[in-house]
Structure 1
Amino acid sequence: MMVAARAMAATSLASFRKDSRLNPQEYAALSAREIAAGVNAGSLCPIEIAKAALSRLDEVDPQLNAFVYVANDVIQQARKVAEKIASGIPAGPLAGVPVAVKDLISTKDMPTTFGSPLYRDYRPSVDDIAVERLRAAGAVLIGKTNCSEFGYGGFGHNPLFPTTRHPLDPRLTPGGSSAGSAVAVATGICPLALGSDGGGSIRLPASFTGLVGIKASMGRVPLWPGCRDPELPGASSWESIEHIGPLARDTYDAALLLSVIAGPDARDRYSIPCADLDWCAAAEATAPSGLRVAFCADWAGVPVDPEVREVTRAAARSLCARISAEFHEPAAPVIPLEIFRSVVAADTDYLGLRRSAADGMHLSRAVSRMLRQIPTPEQYHLARFGRMQAVLAMTDLMQEFDLLLTPSVACLPFPVDLDSPGSIDGIAIADDAWTPALFPMNLTGQPAASVPAGQSSKGLPIGLQIVGRHLADALVISVAGLVRVNSVERVRVVS
């Protein structure tokens, strides 16, 4: 159920409780749900919440590089929320909640660089649809978060900003491409962040940092301009596989954000109605019993770290036991990585990038590799017909099972200066082959969430992916809601 704004008698801003001030650590443990409820009820002051968020950012971000830009009007945004509350005007379901926005997502009053020198000084004239809706819901936008250049690569490297680092060990990557958004939430700078996911870029960093990350069914959350705007060379890539979604410390908070940003918009031809779905109610619903659940650890011939396999299999069994579900371990559908590579190639704006990139311009390794390629007719054919095959393979599996569970990522976090782990369990792998269970859900558009499954022997988070049939978002969220995240643990930072 969405948090309702409580009408209050008109008062001054001084009417907020004097004990509503929070130190950064107290603030960091609050959920978005608690903040919105407290602000709407007048028991939490949005200005003090905003100050605590900025203090937390100053405390932890210099060593982690989650943010590339901090909004200069954070306190003013919070003051407008406070004025609404004091005037008895509903402030919205995210009243006073600090939210971070990935730097691939357009913001009209903040830079949007896409992590690229091509857009170093770019300020969009319009907000992305999701950002529009966040503002209308009373959220306080803290700033823009670091990402891979144009989203290429499962890490946080780009030529403009220092690389984002893992909060539990700054020598490691937090995963990407929504690296900064994940770290902003994991360290308690904000309880919610927007990420984008064209091949796993929400679910991957959620797994590596111990968060909940959700990619709803394709079209549930509209997206524009971003990858849908042909006037944005380079950014106008990933068009047929991109999703926008939440990173949060618990499933209810993620559902609360989805309840705000989901729903059709005429500017996105993929967008679909959501009248069938109450996101927050789904997060609190009792998951149905008697489900048939498949656990598939091995995808596309990619090895899996033994600890990842052990932890996710145990988590999958435990989850099935809690809802009296049938646990099965069938073979995963055969979906070659080359299909995804071809779809990305077909979606990439090669001409726009080549026309815009000046000679000698420093681009990321991932984007430079893409520009050196010349897509072949065979790749375009595979992008279309191979994708059809992938959709059919997943459809066949999901006809037999209600849910699919997988390791979110095949490995543990690796050194931050690398593009990949290089090898898993002693077996060499390609730089783009360590997330084999994530990209298939972008090809099919199915709903998928990564939730914490447990930890490695060294205390690093391991994620479990929960996948539903097309449009079965409510079931995915209700099962994800069974996983309880200790938010205090998520805000630890190792210097």
Structure 2
Amino acid sequence: MTSDLTNADATELAEWIRNGKASAVEVIEAHLSRIAALNEKLNAIVTTNDSALEAAKAADQAVRDKTALGPLHGVPFTGKDSIDTASVPTQRGSPIFRGRIPSVDAASVARMKAAGAILLAKTNIPEFSYSTESENLLSGRTNNPWNLERTPGGSSGGESAAIAAGLSPIGLGTDLAISVRGPAAQTGIVSLKATHGRVPMTGIWPREPRRFWHVGPMARSVRDLKLALSVLTGPDGKDSLSSRVPVLETAPPQKQLRVGWLVRPGFGPIQPQVGDTVEAGVRALEQAGCVVQQVTIPALERDPPLDVFLKLHVNEMKPVFEQTTRGQPDEHIGPIARFMLDTPETSIEDCVQAEQAAQRLSDAFAEFFQEYDALLCPVLPLPAHEHRLTSVKVEGEDIDGIKIMAATVPFNVTGLPAISLPFGLSDEGLPIGLQIVGAWNAEATILDLALKLESQSPIQGMRPKI
């Protein structure tokens, strides 16, 4: 039964707890045992919640008392270590914040708890949550459960590794340019970056640059993403951006969906096995009754989104690094912070041009979504790579490591919703993901498409043999 409890998704666990097939205490204990057995290899979990078992006992008593139960009652969840958790350390991947214990939950954490979920643990991140790999001076490096010599991604790499390895059924990550979708693709789980502002960022650090940051669920099943999104959305009265998004539509569209698909050009070099996986997704959607057409989006080449992103965000982000590291001993400042501190600020002229380019990109996608309901494309140009990537050869071209964000960052610049889900294995047996992108506020559409793809995924239910 223990293996069932650590393999089930959050939706199933909630059903088992409600109907008495399993107790919340049994579920929490199973996951704590899994953490004890595997975390030394993975280093995905950085802090466990000492109150989790007590919360589970209270959850079981509520079931016995026939109290009204939330949709995630008794289900454990984890959170990235940049997301505030009351009375549980949130150390932001840096010795600068060693031992920091918030007094208030982030809005997203509070909403998970209000739905009955129990905080189990916090997961590893890069320094200041600011890299495509999850390693820092405070808590070390996280390894991918599919291959310990590979990264689980970043910045939500601890979260992705924990969920993939059965240390947690569901969790919260954040996404500045890649950070829930890339790690999900690298570890064979699912994740959702909803429309910008859909989920409040209150209680998550750093807030700058607010125009790009998102918080979103990471899980083992698309239905879990859908459930979590229903719990997490809506304004909180503190994050003004969360007040600008319409009420979440949860009903799937009642029409034949039109999907455009794109591998190249537009996202830079892509390994052939990744392109093949996207084409397998095309065939699956056609079999599901969708109209699927290959497309080009010239704006991606005219205004490369990664260049736009880098120019726009540095002037907002660099002062945060400067203020945070000021007066700190050298041994507390890692290579990520030092890189940002050494990065030149963007000139006013370049910022203005980048702002205009970002608007042109949004205009291009507005036009695209007049004809199509969704875009199917890669998440990453390659499967999980070795630790400490500086450059990688893709299609015979050496590309800088930062360019693995080329297919994810466009949807942070524009704020469009996007899902990452596994749909194949590389020739080395590593997961390969697909990305489904929708129009603004069209989460119901891309969740519907993700369910269609999930039902046909050749690796659905496959777990790493760690």
User: Please, what TM-score do these two structures have when normalized by structure 1?
Assistant: 0.88
Is the 1:289–1:323 contact (alpha carbons within 8 Å) kept by the matching residues of 2?
no
2:226 alignment partner AA: A
1:87–1:329 CA distance, 2 compared to 1 (3 A): same
Structure 1 CA distance, aligned partners of 2:132 and 2:246? Answer: 30
1:59–1:265 CA distance, 2 compared to 1 (3 A): same
Choose which of 291, 294, 303 in structure 2 pairs with 1:328.
294
Runs ≥4 residues deviating over 6 A: none
For residues 442-485 of structure 1, give each alpha carbon's deviation from its aligned partner in whole angstroms, at most 9, with x where no partner exists. Answer: 11111100111211122111111000111111000011111136
Deviation at 1:331, TM superposition (A): 4.2
Deviates more, 1:307-316 or 1:94-103: 307-316
Work out whether 1:385 is the aligned partner of 2:356. Answer: yes
Structure 2 CA distance, aligned partners of 1:352 and 1:66? Answer: 25
Choose which of 369, 373, 381 in structure 2 pairs with 1:402.
373
1:77–1:185 CA distance, 2 compared to 1 (3 A): same
Structure 2 CA distance, aligned partners of 1:464 and 1:175? Answer: 16
1:295 alignment partner AA: W
Structure 1 CA distance, aligned partners of 2:264 and 2:55? Answer: 47
> SS of the residue aligned with 2:55?
helix
Deviation at 1:391, TM superposition (A): 1.3
For residues 231-268 of structure 1, give each alpha carbon's deviation from its aligned partner in whole angstroms, at most 9, with x where no partner exists. Answer: xxxx2323111111111111001111111111111111
Structure 2 CA distance, aligned partners of 1:213 and 1:93? Answer: 19
Structure 2 CA distance, aligned partners of 1:316 and 1:165? Answer: 31
For residues 217-243 of structure 1, give each alpha carbon's deviation from its aligned partner in whole angstroms, at most 9, with x where no partner exists. Answer: 11111110224xxxxxxx232311111
> SS of the residue aligned with 1:270?
helix
Deviation at 1:419, TM superposition (A): 3.1
Is the 2:132–2:155 contact (alpha carbons within 8 Å) kept by the matching residues of 1?
yes
Residue correspondence of structure 1 range 111-260 to structure 2 within 5 A: 111-227=89-205, 235-260=206-231
> SS of the residue aligned with 2:198?
coil
Deviates more, 1:364-373 or 1:45-54: 364-373
Is the 1:216–1:448 contact (alpha carbons within 8 Å) kept by the matching residues of 2?
yes
Structure 1 CA distance, aligned partners of 2:9 and 2:273? Answer: 30
Choose which of 256, 259, 274 in structure 2 pairs with 1:290.
256
1:322–1:487 CA distance, 2 compared to 1 (3 A): closer
The number of aligned residues is 457
Structure 2 CA distance, aligned partners of 1:387 and 1:76? Answer: 48
- Corresponding residue for 1:46? 24
Structure 2 CA distance, aligned partners of 1:288 and 1:367? Answer: 48
1:102–1:396 CA distance, 2 compared to 1 (3 A): same
Structure 2 CA distance, aligned partners of 1:421 and 1:472? Answer: 35
2:293 alignment partner AA: F
Work out whether 1:448 is the aligned partner of 2:448. Answer: no
Deviation at 1:274, TM superposition (A): 5.4
- Corresponding residue for 1:315? 281
Is the 1:251–1:480 contact (alpha carbons within 8 Å) kept by the matching residues of 2?
yes
Deviation at 1:400, TM superposition (A): 2.6
Please, which runs of 5 or more residues in structure 1 have no aligned partner?
Answer: 1-21, 228-234
For residues 140-162 of structure 1, give each alpha carbon's deviation from its aligned partner in whole angstroms, at most 9, with x where no partner exists. Answer: 11110001122211111212112
Choose which of 416, 429, 446 in structure 2 pairs with 1:459.
429
Task: Name the Cα RMSD after superposition.
Answer: 1.9
Paired-residue identity, %: 32
Work out whether 1:341 is the aligned partner of 2:319. Answer: no
Deviation at 1:412, TM superposition (A): 1.6
1:76–1:383 CA distance, 2 compared to 1 (3 A): farther
Is the 1:134–1:260 contact (alpha carbons within 8 Å) kept by the matching residues of 2?
yes
Structure 1 CA distance, aligned partners of 2:129 and 2:117? Answer: 25
1:438 alignment partner AA: T
User: Please, what TM-score do these two structures have when normalized by structure 2?
Assistant: 0.93
1:55 alignment partner AA: S
> SS of the residue aligned with 2:15?
helix
- Corresponding residue for 2:465? 493
Structure 2 CA distance, aligned partners of 1:106 and 1:306? Answer: 40
> SS of the residue aligned with 1:314?
helix
